[in-house]
Amino acid sequence: MDFLAELAARRRFGMRPGLDAIASVMAALGNPERRVKAVHVAGTNGKGATAAILDASLRKAGLRVARYTSPHLARINERFFMDGEPIGDAMLDEAARRVAQVAPPQLTFFEALTAVAFLVFAEAGVDIAVLETGLGGRLDATNVCHPILSVITRIGLDHCDWLGDTVEKIAAEKAGIVKPGVPVVVGANSPSALAVVANRATAISAPLTCAADIASPGEIPPDFSLRGSFNRENAVTALAALKRLDILAAPVHLASEVTWPGRFQRVGRFLIDGAHNPPAATALRHAIMEECAASFNLVAGFCGDKDVEATLRILKPLVDRAFAVRTSNPRSLSPEETAARMAAVGISATPCRSLNDALTLSSGPTLVCGSLFLAGEALVALDAYPWPAGRLDPSERLR
């Protein structure tokens, strides 16, 4: 039986915040999460990049490091890293088999993959695992972990239907990863978001550090591989987290070479970025104005649960022509729907049957964004996907 496909079929349950189901699976597996020393990372934007920077830097310090992030760009193996590489198919399939055997009917796809991550990392005996939350924090499946450090990156408006319609409400959900007595590092944030996190930390005696108080951009290696000012912000947050980790025998430095594809990544005349919400679009626009051509053609596809028009308004001053496509996500808008959203903000767009059609029609500098799923598709289409082949997302066969 293809147990990974069986777990992927649980996508029909959608998202279901809460810890009861994942906790029951952890217990049935012998509570592997208790054997994993975790750095737990939450935030609206930048949490995945911060996790990748921490992973590379901790390996540079000589530790055996695992990393769990989501979503993946093209191959499901990408969610589970050990020793700087995605785990292999055999390891993934075996862990999926064991999780499927104990999974209750209501377990969601993300919860199942989180259980896979804890099982693989615990049995591999890694020194430390960097875990990125999937949605929010307080009720996210990763929050069954026992962290030695919590990290919160920039907080903004996204997933408002699940997390709340103000930055303060969303900050309260993100702050749910803060544990009693466990240090927490907070990256650059609005005063209102910072106040929410600080109040939570104070209430449960969790020592809080603002990243900018102990780390600075001047400490980032001059040859740091991730481009964009937003990644320099993420690097400062990661460096502060490294300084607060007691398990390190000596102060460590940021790794200069960090692989985090699909985020402000140049591939010839194409710029690939997973920006899909207004805060990410704002960061992308600033980075483009700092480092790139004045204007681009835009190839974009969006999921229907995103604030598409607000995101497009931010990018509009940079756009010459636009091409609308469907992403591989089941929640994707159709090309025609995306083109209509573009037209609503004053961007003239051509709906395209496929991403390849759009990439061919777009001549000159081209920005591809709107979804991490689309970013992954673009990297594969442009032969720029960085890792060895792994398991295709089983949903490719289920749809």
Helix axes 191-203, 167-174, angle to 10 degrees: 40
Q: Are residues 223 and 360 in the same domain?
A: no
Q: What is the per-residue pLDDT for 252? A: 78
Answer whether 209's CB lies under 8 Å from 183's CB: yes
- What's the pTM value of the predicted model, to 2 decimals? 0.90
Q: Are residues 225 and 352 in the same domain?
A: no
Q: Is residue 40 part of a domain?
A: yes
Q: Are residues 197 and 282 in the same domain?
A: no
Q: Is residue 14 part of a domain?
A: yes
Question: What CATH number did the domain enclosing 314 receive?
Answer: 3.90.190.20
Q: Are residues 274 and 127 in the same domain?
A: no
E strands, the chain, are 38-42, 65-68, 80-82, 85-86, 128-132, 147-152, 184-186, 208-210, 265-267, 270-272, 296-300, 319-324, 349-351, 366-369
Q: Are residues 18 and 146 in the same domain?
A: yes
Cα separation, 288 vs 16, whole angstroms:
36
Q: Is residue 390 part of a domain?
A: no
Q: What is the per-residue pLDDT for 203? A: 97
Q: Are residues 291 and 200 in the same domain?
A: no
The low-confidence residues of the chain, meaning pLDDT below 70, are: 1-17, 157-165, 249, 293, 389-399
Q: Are residues 240 and 270 in the same domain?
A: no
E strands, 285-373, are 296-300, 319-324, 349-351, 366-369
Question: What CATH number did the domain enclosing 145 receive?
Answer: 3.40.1190.10
Cα separation, 262 vs 276, whole angstroms:
12
Supply the range of the domain harboring residue 69: 3-244
Q: Are residues 69 and 214 in the same domain?
A: yes
Question: Any idea what DSSP says for residue 9?
Answer: G
Q: Are residues 66 and 145 in the same domain?
A: yes
Report the number of distinct structural domains present in the chain: 2
Q: Is residue 396 part of a domain?
A: no
